[in-house]
Amino acid sequence: MRITAVNPPFITGYSRGQRSPAVTKSGTLYYPIWLAYATGALEKAGHEVDLMDAPADGLDIGQTLERINLFDPGLVILETSTPSIESDVQFADSIAAEGRFVVLVGTHPSALPEDTLNMGSRFGAVVVGEYENPLTELARAIESDMDPAGVKGLYLRQPNGETLFTGDAERLSDLDSLPYVSSIYSRHLDISRYNNPNALYPQVMIMGGRGCPHSCTFCVFPQTLQGRAFRRRSIGNITGEMLWVQNNMPEVRAVFFEDDTISVNRKRLQELARSFIENGVSVSWTSNMRADVDLETLILCRKAGLRTVCVGFESGSDRMLTNMRKGITVEMSLKFARNAQEAGILVHGCFMVGTRGEDRESMSETLELALRINPDTAQFYPMMVYPGTEAYTQALESNNLMAENWRDWLTEEGLHSCVIRTEELSSEELVDFCDYARRKFYLRPLYIIRKLWSSLLDKDERRRTFRAFSTFRKYLFRNSRQR
């Protein structure tokens, strides 16, 4: 059967696949990674799939509909996000008006399945959670003229207007069974359009595991799509994909591991690094990592090609870290930063304000921590809360959620918009602090000299810095609330 998997049109450059979807100040554009994995699973099951990424390709609604109609699929899968959900539903209904079965996937329908289904009138269903298994079963049911009600993991629109929940689907247990997602990108997407400034360009984005056992209140994927239970690909399977990228995509300079954290199991991370070394993996890699990895492991990872880690330090206040259930302390963050520097690994630090109980003192402690850690790059942002997360529920119940509709999560141009306040701070004060902290961090004379020097010595660093700065500079001196 022919199937279209589409990241639908919304705003050009809209990075729908990341944890906090938006048009980014740094020029980051995520691959539609979840949709690509689903494409691989469907192709493996024998279906012909057209994977489309409208925001990356600059396709408008008319162009996207034209391509769908030309392909003439029997099933259309539509990626969604909270800020774009109203647009996504309208687009889904327009496709379904042509008589096609349309199903919505992603974090938002996973968190609010009935609400999402009721926002539209024509599209057929939404999937709750990871969607490789439900979509494969749904495609088989449609192709065989079977009732989709027998497919687990769906909220189905019934002919009488009611909603039917088909029951929970099992999450994928054998991650090695999925085709290499890099091979999906290679055949379906223009990789030159995707970028994360924390890795060399061009790059591909893969997952080495799914699920996160930690309990951070704000993190959306473990609370909506993946669950907390950690599932892993085998060491050989990950190494195999790295070597596949080297041999089949020679233009790729880096692999970005989009796991919530690659360091859940320290021993496994060490084994992975050793496997890269022993098997001749030469492409550089970047990963998300918690601030609790020891020096020995970091040194081994650096030898294996690890260039940069993206670390959620989040706050310089132990009180705030406890409130968000981060599971780390300020002292752990400082120790990790020292270890990473000694290992020769670049650090991108993430710092967040707006946690329950946040005040001016705790925000000042966060900026102080960022300056003490002195990472290679840093981002400061108000906490983004999404349906399905504990942080969203807390904001809603405490009357600290300021949004009136889902589009309020973004500014008019598509940048992140602060939708929360705290007991002591308005949303405007949270945004103003992040603007101030960003300027304070990046406009230090010693920081500027350090970046210039590293750019002179390393051509890769020069290209990476210039590419990020060319996009980021227009926001550095501008208040985020300016439209």
15-56 pLDDT, tens digit per residue, is 999 999 999 988 999 999 999 999 999 999 999 999 999 999
| 343 & 470 share domain | yes
Asked if pLDDT for residue 174 goes beyond 60, the answer is yes
pLDDT classification of 7: cutoffs 50, 70, 90:
very high
pLDDT digits (tens, 9 = 90+) for 176-198: 999 999 999 999 999 999 999 99
Whether residue 483 is contained in a domain is answered as no
| 154 & 183 share domain | no
Angstrom distances, CA of residue 35 to CA of 42, 61, 110, 130, 422: 10, 19, 15, 10, 35
Tell the burial category of 361 from Cβ atoms under 10 Å away from its Cβ (0-12, 13-18, 19+): exposed
Whether residue 407 is contained in a domain is answered as yes
Asked if pLDDT for residue 60 goes beyond 80, the answer is yes
pLDDT digits (tens, 9 = 90+) for 227-265: 999 999 999 999 999 999 999 999 999 999 999 989 999
Span 2-26, mean pLDDT? 96
Whether residue 157 is contained in a domain is answered as yes
Q: Which of 107, 139, 165 is the last residue of a domain?
A: 165
Span 297-301, mean pLDDT? 98
| 159 & 188 share domain | no
Q: What pLDDT does residue 456 have?
A: 76
| 152 & 32 share domain | yes
Asked if pLDDT for residue 461 goes beyond 80, the answer is no
Q: Which of 165, 190, 209 is the last residue of a domain?
A: 165
Show the domain range for 328.
178-476
Provide the domain count of the chain: 2
Report whether 242 contacts 276 (CB < 8 A).
yes
Q: What pLDDT does residue 451 have?
A: 81
Give the contacts of 297 (CB within 8 A, at least 6 positions apart).
263, 266, 269, 270, 273
Asked if pLDDT for residue 481 goes beyond 60, the answer is no
Span 137-164, mean pLDDT? 96
Whether residue 349 is contained in a domain is answered as yes
pLDDT digits (tens, 9 = 90+) for 69-127: 999 999 999 999 999 999 999 999 999 999 999 999 999 999 999 999 999 999 999 99
Question: Which residue type sits at 464?
Answer: R
Q: What pLDDT does residue 450 have?
A: 85
Asked if pLDDT for residue 161 goes beyond 90, the answer is no
| 197 & 288 share domain | yes
Asked if pLDDT for residue 476 goes beyond 80, the answer is no
Whether residue 171 is contained in a domain is answered as no
Whole-model pTM: value is: 0.94
Whether residue 170 is contained in a domain is answered as no
pLDDT digits (tens, 9 = 90+) for 352-408: 999 999 999 999 999 999 999 999 999 999 999 999 999 999 999 999 999 999 999
| 133 & 187 share domain | no
Q: What pLDDT does residue 394 have?
A: 97
Q: Which of 107, 130, 165 is the last residue of a domain?
A: 165
| 127 & 152 share domain | yes
Q: What pLDDT does residue 468 have?
A: 59
Asked if pLDDT for residue 140 goes beyond 50, the answer is yes
Asked if pLDDT for residue 482 goes beyond 50, the answer is no
| 137 & 205 share domain | no
| 209 & 112 share domain | no
Asked if pLDDT for residue 205 goes beyond 50, the answer is yes
Whether residue 482 is contained in a domain is answered as no
| 208 & 153 share domain | no
Whether residue 235 is contained in a domain is answered as yes
pLDDT classification of 14: cutoffs 50, 70, 90:
very high
| 215 & 116 share domain | no
Q: What CATH number does residue 99 fall under?
A: 3.40.50.2300
Beta bridge partners of 4: 50, 76
Neighbours of 250 (CB within 10 A): 9
| 346 & 388 share domain | yes
Q: What CATH number does residue 372 fall under?
A: 3.80.30.20
Asked if pLDDT for residue 336 goes beyond 90, the answer is yes
pLDDT digits (tens, 9 = 90+) for 415-443: 999 999 999 999 999 999 999 999 999 99
As a whole-number percent, the residues of the chain with pLDDT over 90 amount to 91
Q: What pLDDT does residue 483 have?
A: 31
